[in-house]
Structure 1
Amino acid sequence: MRVWPHSRQLLCSAAVVLLAGCAAGTTPPPPAGTTAPAAAPAGLVPVTVAVPDGLDHRPFDTARQVLVPPGWTVSVWARVPKARLAAWAPDGRLLVSLPSMGQVVSVGPERVTPLLSGLTQPHGLSFTGSTLLVAESDRITAYDYRDGSATGPRPIAAGLPDARSPELRGAYSHALKSVTAGSDGAVYFSIGSTGNISAQDRTADPPRATIMRVPPGGGPATVFATGVRNGTGLATAPDGSIWTAVNNRDNIADPATGTVHPDYVAENPPEAIARLTAGRELGWPFCHPTGGPADAPFIRDVQTNADGGALDCASLPPVEQTIGAHSAPLGMSFTEGALPAPYDSGALLGVHGSWNRQPPRAPEVSFLPWRNGILGPAETLLGGFQSADGSRWGRPVSAVVGPDGGVYVTDDLADAVYRLAPPGLR
C-alpha cells in the first residue's frame, strides 16, 4: 500500500460531545396556522419552532412544527447555508463544515464567520485538545486552534481518493469524509465507496469503503475496518471504542427470488451501527446485515456473492445495532452527563432520511442509549421534518451538545442550526 504524507505531531484523544433522548407524554393538537408533521412517534409531542426576527426566511416564512420529548423546546439559532457536520471548539465556538462552499465556519446566533476557506469539500471535524482535525475529500489536516483562529496546517493523510482522482474519472458518489480522534492518540477517518456496488473499491490503492487509522504521532494510514460502504457516522465512544454508522446498499435483490422487488428493497438492508476493532469486516458489497435492530447477522448478497465464494458472510460477527433501511445516518457522537436523565449517556445520530424509498424514510435526530459499552435501540429525539405525504422542509445532518446544555442540530435542507433545549433550559 502507498504511504500517504503524514504529520509526526503527537495527537491526543478527543470526541465531539453529543447526546439526547425521548420521553412519554400526551399529544395536543397542533396550533392553528402551522404545518403539521406526520404522526408522532410514541412519547413525543409537537412544538412550534421559535424563529427570531431576521431568521424567518424560507422555510421559516411559515410556522413549522417538530416533535420532541415533553417539555423540550426548539428554536432556530442560526441560518447557515448547507450546514453539515459540527464540533464545539475548546473556546465555546460552534464550528460547522460547508463542503459545497469549501469552508469551515464559526457560528453564533448573530454571526457566521469563515474560519477556513478554499478547502476541498471539508466535512468531518474533530478536536483533540487544541488541535482541530478537518477531513477534506482528498486529505486529513490538523490545525492549531486558538482564540477563534486555525493556523499551522499540517497533513495527517493526503492523496486520498475523490472525484478528481484520475482513475475515477470524476465519478465518486461518496467523496465526503469523516474523522474522529481516538482515545489511543490515533486518528480515524472514513473513505466511502465510489458507488452502490463497486467491488473494485476493495482492492484499490488506497482501498475505499474503509475506515482508516493513522497511528499516534503520525505515520502511514492503514486499514482499520473494511467493507464499510459509506461510514459517514464516525465517533469515539466514552470507553474509547470507535463506532461507525453506515449508509448501506440500494436496490438489493431479494435472496428468496434473486430479483429486485420494491417491497424488499424498501426494508433491506438495515443501516449498520457498528463497534469497530482492528480488522473488522462489514461485508459490503458481498454480505449485508439482515433483521435487527440489535445483533443483526450477515447474509450473502445474491447479486455479488451468490455462492459465498467472495466472502463467508456467516463468519462475520453480527452488527451491534441497526436502524431502518435507507435512513441515511450521518453525523454521530457520544457524550456522558451533558443532558438530564434519562439522556445522560448515549449517542446522537443525524438521520438524513431516504432519497429513493417509497414511502420516504423520515429525517430525524436519533438517540441511542449507552449502557455498559453497548448502544441500545434508536429512539427519535427530534422529528417532524416530513409530512404525511412524504414532503419535507428539513433534513438534520448532525447534533452536538453545547456548553450551555442545549443540543445544536445542523440542517442542510433548511439551511439552519437549531437549538434543542431540555426542560428548564432557556
Structure 2
Amino acid sequence: MNIARLSVVTPLLLAASCGTAQLTDTAGMGPNPELPAPQHSLIPTVNVAKAVGWPEGVQPRAANGLQVTAFAKGLQHPRWVYVLPNGDTLVAEASAPEHPEEGKGIKAKAMGFFMKKAGSAVPNANRITLLRDVDGDGVAETRTVFLSGLNSPVGMVLVGADLYVANTDAIVRFPYAEGATSIAATGTKVADLPGGPRNHHWTKNVIASRDGSKLYATVGSNSNVAEHGMAEEEGRAAIWEIDTKTGAKRLYASGLRNPNGMAWDAKTGALWTVVNERDELGSDLVPDYLTSVRDGAFYGWPYSYYGAHVDDRVQPPRPDLVAKAVKPDYALGNHVAPLGLAFADGNALPSTYASGAFVGQHGSWNRKPRSGYNVVFIPFRDGVPTGENPREVLGGFVSDSGEAYGRPVGVAIDKRGALLVADDVGNVIWRVK
C-alpha cells in the first residue's frame, strides 16, 4: 500500500475499534425495535469481513431439518436469481458500473478500499446466465450465456413472451421463447431509471403486477443522507410504477433509502420490499426493514426514520414530510443489508416455513459486532409478520476469524420448491431443501 493510500485509510482503520453496539442484535428487530439516541462521529465505524471465498469442502450451515447443496459454482459475482415457468434459472452476474463521481474525495476513496476488501469491487460480467437442471438432481448441468452486453443488470421478470431486465439506468425488454438457452435479439428500452456519474446505489430491481400491465422498479438513493443535495436525489429512494405498453411511469412510493427485493403477498395482494436504511449513526441505528408498500406513501428518508425519528444531519428539515412518514412494518436488525426477498408460496421446505418471507442479508460493513451475512425467514400470519424474531435458514458465511466465505443476495423458490440463494462472494448459487 502506498503512503497516500495509507494516509486515507488509517483513520478508518482506527475507527474500526470504536462504536461497538450497546444493544443486543434482537433489540433492533421486530415491529417495534429499540431506537436509542444516535451516535455522531466524524469517522464511521468500519468492520468489514474480508472476502475470501469458500475453502474446499466448506459450505453454508443450514438450519435444523434443512439441507444445502451447490446448485451452480464458478459464477462471476451472481447478484440475482429468477426462475422461469419451465424451471430454468436466470442469474444476473453484475457489479457496479463506472460511476466516476462516486469515487471523489478522501472518504469516498477510503470506502472504495473497504468495499474492495468486502468483495464488491470486481470485474463486471454484465450478463445473465441460464442454468438448467436437466435430470432434477438439484445441480445445474447446463449453463449458457443467456444475455450479454448489459449494463449492471439485477432484476428480471417475465411477462408473457417478454423478458424485462433492470439495468442500472433503464428497464429493457427482450423477446423470450420457452426453452430458449440464449437471446440474440437487441433489447428495447421501456423506461429510463436514474443512473448518472455518481449512481451511489446502483442496483435496480423489477417485478410485474399480477395482470402484467405494470412493472415496479426500485431505485436506491444517491447518498447516505442526501449529503450531495436533494437535486442529486431526483427520482431516487423510491419505487416506480411503469406501464408495460407505453413506458409511462409514476412515483409509486418514496422515502425508501435503498429498496431492493420486492415480492407480492399472494394472500393479500400487497407489495412488500426490503430496505437498507441509513448509516453513520452508530452500531445500534438504524434498523434495516421489511415493509408493505402503500401507493403514494412516504417512508421518511432522508428526513426521518421509523416514522417521526428526525435525522438532524439533513438540512433544511422538512417537518411536513416527517409528519406523514410511514413507519415500516418489521425491523430486520441494524445494518444487516437485506437485498433478496421471496415469499414462501410454493416452497417444499418443512411446514414451519409455510407462511412468511425469506430474506437474503448481504451483511454489515459498519457495525461491531457484524450483523447479517445470512438468509432468514420472517413468519407471517394474516398478511403481516407475527412479531417473532427472524429465523436463520442459512448461516456460516463468515469464518471464526472474521473472513467472509460468501455473502447472500437474491433469493427465489425454484420449480421443485427449494430455496435458491445467490452468493456474490462465493460465486455460488446455493439450493436449500
Among 118, 125, 142, the alignment partner of 2:173 is 142
- Any residues of structure 2 matched to 1:118-129 within 5 Å, and which? 118-129=149-160
* Residues 1:321 and 2:344 aligned together: no
Deviations 1:103-162 (CA, angstroms, capped at 9, x unpaired) = 01102423431111001111111223443221001110122221224447332212x222
Aligned equivalent of 1:81 = 76
Give the one of 92, 97, 102 matched to 2:87: 92
| 1:233-255 Cα distance to aligned partner (Å, 9 max, x none) | 22222132211111111102xxx
- Name the counterpart of 1:64: 58
Written as runs of structure 1 = structure 2, the 5 A alignment for 1:34-183 is 59-79=53-73, 80-99=75-94, 100-108=124-132, 109-146=140-177, 147-148=179-180, 149-150=182-183, 151=185, 153-158=187-192, 160-162=193-195, 165=196, 170-183=197-210
Where 1:64 maps in the other structure, the secondary structure is coil
Q: 1:310 to 1:204 in 2, by over 3 A?
A: farther
Give the gaps of 5 or more residues in structure 1: 1-40, 42-57, 253-264, 290-296, 422-426
1:208-247 aligned within 5 A: 208-215=236-243, 217-238=245-266, 239-247=268-276
Q: Which of 378, 384, 394 lines up with 1:374 in the alignment?
A: 384
Answer yes or no: is the 8 Å Cα contact 2:346–2:417 preserved in 1. Answer: no
Alpha-carbon distance in 1 for matches of 2:205, 2:265: 15
What amino acid does structure 2 have at the position aligned with 1:353? G
What is the match of residue 13 of structure 1?
none
Aligned-CA RMSD value: 2.3
Q: Which moved more, 1:204-213 or 1:267-276?
A: 204-213
**Ranges in structure 2 where 5+ consecutive residues have no aligned partner:** 1-25, 27-51, 95-123, 133-139
**Secondary structure of the corresponding residue to residue 397 of structure 1:** strand
Q: Which residue of 1 aligns with 2:107?
A: none
Which residue in 2 is equivalent to 1:259?
A: none
Range with bigger deviation, 237-246 or 346-355: 237-246
1:196 corresponds to 2:224: yes
> What secondary structure is seen at the aligned counterpart in 1 of 2:78?
coil
More helix by share: 2
Matched residue pairs, number?
A: 338
Retained in 1: the 8 A contact 2:264–2:270? yes
For residues 67-117 of structure 1, the C-alpha deviation after alignment (integer angstroms, 9 at most, x for no partner) is: 323231111121112011110012211001012211011024234311110
Q: Deviations over 1:263-307 (max 9, x none)?
A: xx1111111212112111111111012xxxxxxx4411121268x
Greater displacement, 107-116 / 75-84? 107-116
| Whole-angstrom distance in 2 between the partners of 1:414 and 1:68 | 16
Task: State the distance in 2 between where 1:191 and 1:218 align.
Answer: 20
The alpha-carbon distance between structure 1 residues 272 and 71, as it changes in their structure 2 partners (threshold 3 A), is: closer
Residue 62 of structure 1 aligns to a residue in which SS? coil
CA–CA distance in structure 1, aligned partners of residues 72 and 361 of structure 2: 20
* SS of alignment partner, residue 283 of structure 2: helix
TM-score, structure 2 as length reference: 0.73
The aligned runs of 1:280-299 (5 Å cut-off) are 280-289=297-306, 297-299=307-309
For residue 12 of structure 1, what is the aligned residue in structure 2?
Answer: none
What is the SS of the residue equivalent to 1:316?
coil
Hey, what does 1:399 align to over in structure 2?
411
Rounded to whole Å, the distance in 1 between the matches of 2:333 and 2:401 is 19
**Contact map agreement 2:54 2:406 (CA 8 A) in 1:** no
